[in-house]
Amino acid sequence: MGVAKRVLASLFLIGAIYSTPQMAVQTASQTIVEEGADGMTRAVNRIIGGIITYARWPGSAPASRTLCVVGTPRLTDRIAPALPGNSAAITVRRMSAAAATGGDECDILFLGRMAAADRQRLIGWVRGRAVLTISDDDPGCLYGAMFCLATKPAGLSFSVNLDAIGRGPLRIDPRVLKIGQADGGVP
Amino acid sequence: MTRPASGTTLQKLLSRFHFGITLFAVALSGLTILLAGITAMRGYADRNIELAAQLGAYGVEPALVFNDASAAREGLAPLVRIRGIAKLRVLDDRGQPLTEWISPSEDPAPLLTRAFFPKPYVVTIRRNGSAIGTIQVWGDSSTLIDYVRIGLLAGLACLIVTALGTIVMARRFEYELVKPLGEIATVAHDVRLHRRFDKRVQPLGIAELDRLGGDINALLDELQGWQGTMESERALLAHRASHDALTTLPNRAAFDEQLAQRIAAAERSGSRLALLFIDADNFKAANDRFGHAAGDAVLVALSSRIRETLRERDFAARIGGDEFVVLVDPVDLAVEPQTIADHLRTAVSQPVTLPGGELYRPTASVGVAVFPDQAGDAAALLTAADAAMYADKLSNRTRS
């Protein structure tokens, strides 16, 4: 694992040196995924955590946020976002689409694999609400989730659906939007 | 005491001194300004790098959160256009490099870079209070080199201006100081070489030099006074040496000189001159009878009467106690020398009132000899006249 990390790091270093002049047109934006059983889980949780920290809900910040996992996550079954520093604590709850739309407790909606109808309902329900949506079952980010995770040969990446973000009252740090956009995820 | 080499002039000395002082001042101020400028520039460069590091920290923060190397490179993109950055490096929270960028342009002055940016500027990137990575920024000398170049160029320009200014000032010094000194020297030289004691130093407009000039003028006044006294004293001495004190007539020495000159002149021109030898008769007896004061009075009266008979070119002298000579020069061929002798004898024998109130009638024997008729040279002429006078004295005795 340690060796792999070093190899990856040096690969990126070399890549950075060689690709310096063309840096702006570099499109592949992806989180480094460490080898091993936990590598993907850590990468997914890191990305989810990062997205959450760059999202701003309207109103005062509560002590904790609730992440509702709907459907079956494809990349990892252990969703537990890793948030840097003293961010608000995240409570992860699994529930059905009906339960999610029924209550008003979800701040973040993680959309795993599910029926298209459920997904449509959820996306429709989210519209206008201060709910962050992240999907790992939509590599093209076409079905209305704000952030979509996808695996790439070199690692894990995410793309941004600007339309979806624009419709809601959530504020996302433009630096994150830029990273997500570099992937060209939104047509 | 050390003295400058004889080849050095005051002007050269002053200009060298001046150049040294000006150079020192310019170098000192130039160095100060350059150092102050470099310090200020360094402050700006540091601030520049600090700002770049802060900008980079802001840009790469999400990349560190997502552990995304390409996003980190994009985050650094605005920094690579900033001048004066040699190298950038982003490290994650475990100290592993996430991305690195090295400036493609060469460092213009590595020495300057080593002196001013020996260490990278490091900013710790935090997210919600916890460190998620660091960004390191290495500066290079490209922002300083222009200032240093301009500074050195300005220094060179100052040096040239200094040199030119020194030349101008030295010229001015020559005019203001060396010229007045030269005037003093000229006066002193003139006085020493040509004895021009009437020369004076004119007012020069510089207090110290005017004092010197005043002292020299005072000294010249004294010298001029001494010179005048000496000249009049010398004239007095010369007069005394050649004249008789009692009668103020020329003495024997003056007569001998005069006789030699006039005979030489007569020989050249072929003219004649007569020498008359006059001796007061019975003078000793009169002296004994009436006293010395009376004798002196007789001698003075005789000399004034002899003088009265002379023409302008003629010459009379007292050559002994009661002996006088007269040179009649020239003597016309038509004039009989004996006539002149008679005329003199008559003039001399007028009565004289003595100091005691007595009336005394002096008589004199007069002998005459003519050059070149009776003698060929001065001694012979004198002897002939002397002999003629004795002959006259004898005839007088027989007369009386």
The whole-number pLDDT of residue B156 equals 87
Cβ–Cβ under 8 Å, residues B296 and B360: no
Q: Which residue of B has its CA nearest to A87?
A: B128
**pLDDT tens per residue, range B156-171:** 898 888 888 888 887 8
The whole-number pLDDT of residue A112 equals 92
Q: What is the mean pLDDT of chain B?
A: 86
List the single best residue of B61, B65, B125, B132 to mutate versus A (max A Cβ within 10 A). Answer: B65
- Sheet-wide strand order for A108-111: A31-32, A155-160, A147-152, A132-135, A108-111, A64-70, A89-94
Domain A25-181 has CATH 3.40.50: yes
Nearest-Cα distance to chain B for A38, in Å, is: 16
The complex's ipTM works out to 0.71
List the structure tokens of B15. 């200009």
* Start-to-end C-alpha separation, chain A: 37
The SS3 of residue A115 is coil
**pLDDT tens per residue, range B66-101:** 888 888 888 898 888 888 889 999 998 888 999 999
Interchain CB distance below 8 Å, B77 and A53? no
pLDDT at A22 exceeding the cut of 60 = no
Of A132, A95, A128, which Cα lies nearest the Cα of A114?
A: A95
Nearest-Cα distance to chain B for A85, in Å, is: 5
Counting one residue from chain A and one from chain B, the pairs whose CB atoms sit within 8 A come to 99
pLDDT at A35 exceeding the cut of 80 = no
In whole angstroms, give the CA distance from residue B176 to residue B209: 11
Cβ–Cβ under 8 Å, residues B359 and B295: no
Active site residue B322: yes
pLDDT at B59 exceeding the cut of 60 = yes
Cβ–Cβ under 8 Å, residues A154 and A12: no
CB-CB: which of B65, B74, B104 is closest to A50?
B65
List the structure tokens of B370. 């003519």
Tell me the mean pLDDT in the region B7-25.
79
**pLDDT tens per residue, range A134-174:** 999 888 888 889 999 988 877 888 888 888 888 889 999 88
The whole-number pLDDT of residue B121 equals 92
R_g over Cα of chain A: 17
pLDDT at A29 exceeding the cut of 80 = no
- Annotated domain spans of chain B: 9-242, 252-399
The whole-number pLDDT of residue A69 equals 93
The top-scoring range by mean pLDDT among A140-144, A151-155, B174-178, B384-388 is B384-388
Which comes out higher in pLDDT, residue B350 or A10? B350
The whole-number pLDDT of residue B6 equals 60
% of chain B residues with pLDDT over 90: 18
% of chain B residues with pLDDT over 70: 97
Cβ–Cβ under 8 Å, residues B110 and B139: no
In whole angstroms, give the CA distance from residue B248 to residue B243: 6
The whole-number pLDDT of residue B347 equals 86
In whole angstroms, give the CA distance from residue B210 to residue B201: 9
Q: Which residues of A are less than 8 Å from B126 in CB distance?
A: 85
CATH no., domain B252-399:
3.30.70.270
Nearest-Cα distance to chain B for A117, in Å, is: 31
List the structure tokens of A99. 């339960």
Cβ–Cβ under 8 Å, residues A44 and A76: yes
List the single best residue of A12, A65, A152 to mutate versus B (max B Cβ within 10 A). Answer: A12
Per-residue H/E/C for A17-55: HHCHHHHHHCCCCCEECCCCCCHHHHHHHHHHHHHHHCE
CB-CB: which of B65, B66, B74 is closest to A26?
B74
Q: Which residue of B has its CA nearest to A2?
A: B96
Interchain CB distance below 8 Å, A9 and B97? yes
Q: Which residues of B are less than 8 Å from A176 in CB distance?
A: 62
In whole angstroms, give the CA distance from residue A60 to residue A141: 30
For residue B372, say if its preceding peptide bond is cis, omega within 30 degrees of 0.
yes
One-letter amino acid identity for B284? K
Give me the catalytic one of B322, B329, B342, B377.
Answer: B322
List the structure tokens of B114. 């080593």
B75 touches chain A (CB under 8 A): yes
Of A8, A24, A10, A58, which Cα lies nearest the Cα of A181?
A: A24
**DSSP, res B55:** H
B2 touches chain A (CB under 8 A): no
Cβ–Cβ under 8 Å, residues A156 and A30: yes
**pLDDT tens per residue, range B222-260:** 988 998 999 999 999 988 888 888 888 898 888 999 999
Region class of A186: left (phi > 0), else alpha (psi between -120 and 50), else beta:
beta
- Annotated domain spans of chain A: 25-181
The whole-number pLDDT of residue B91 equals 93
The whole-number pLDDT of residue A28 equals 40
The whole-number pLDDT of residue B40 equals 87
pLDDT at A82 exceeding the cut of 90 = no
Interchain CB distance below 8 Å, A31 and B102? no
pLDDT at B205 exceeding the cut of 50 = yes
pLDDT at A39 exceeding the cut of 90 = no
pLDDT at A23 exceeding the cut of 60 = no
Cβ–Cβ under 8 Å, residues A57 and A130: yes
Q: How confident is the model at residue B398 (pLDDT cuts 50, 70, 90)?
A: low
